[in-house]
């Protein structure tokens, strides 16, 4: 097992492929899905903003007490890129992923998880203890 360090949070990078282009084309539908996903995850929503691009595509951000949810869509490719960054152990990211995947009718979902705020010093007990993987170790000085 790898070296133990503390991490302030985790960052999920979610690739949603084969999405229904109509569902990820419009600000109203993307905003509605992402807000509901954050609620289902039991995240504490502070504020949000979504923007529609011409001819198509949507970008949006939800600021949560625990950090953020963000999305960028490419309807012409049936693709949505979603990030969930949280410093909370109580946010249920899987509930959000399941809801977004179903709502956008994604045919393929890939999730990568990164530990963020890796601290190698004495810190309070609130940050999570994690193991560094080999890729992280390669880039350490």
Enumerate the active-site residues.
67, 72, 87
Give the residue from 131, 49, 130, 128 showing the smallest Cα distance to 91: 128
> How many helices (H) and strands (E) are present in the chain, helices listed first?
3, 7
The crossing angle, in degrees rounded to 10, of helices 93-103 and 27-40 is: 150
Helix %, strand %, coil % of the chain (to 5)? 25, 45, 35
Residues counted in the chain: 141
CA distance 80 to 19: 7
CA distance 70 to 82: 6
């Amino acid at each position: 097992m790898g070296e133990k360090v503390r991490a302030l949070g985790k960052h999920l990078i979610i690739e949603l492929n084969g999405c229904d282009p109509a569902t990820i084309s419009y600000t109203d539908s993307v905003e509605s899905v992402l807000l509901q996903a954050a609620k289902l995850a039991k995240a504490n929503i502070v504020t949000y903003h979504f923007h529609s691009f011409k001819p198509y595509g949507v970008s949006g951000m939800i600021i949560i007490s625990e950090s953020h949810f963000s999305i960028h869509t490419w309807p012409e490719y049936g693709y949505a890129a979603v990030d969930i960054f949280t410093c909370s152990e109580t946010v249920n990211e899987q509930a959000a992923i399941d809801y977004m995947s179903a709502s956008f009718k994604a045919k393929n979902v890939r999730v990568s998880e990164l530990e963020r705020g890796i601290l190698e010093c004495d810190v309070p007990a609130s940050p999570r203890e994690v193991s560094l993987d080999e890729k992280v170790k390669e880039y350490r000085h």
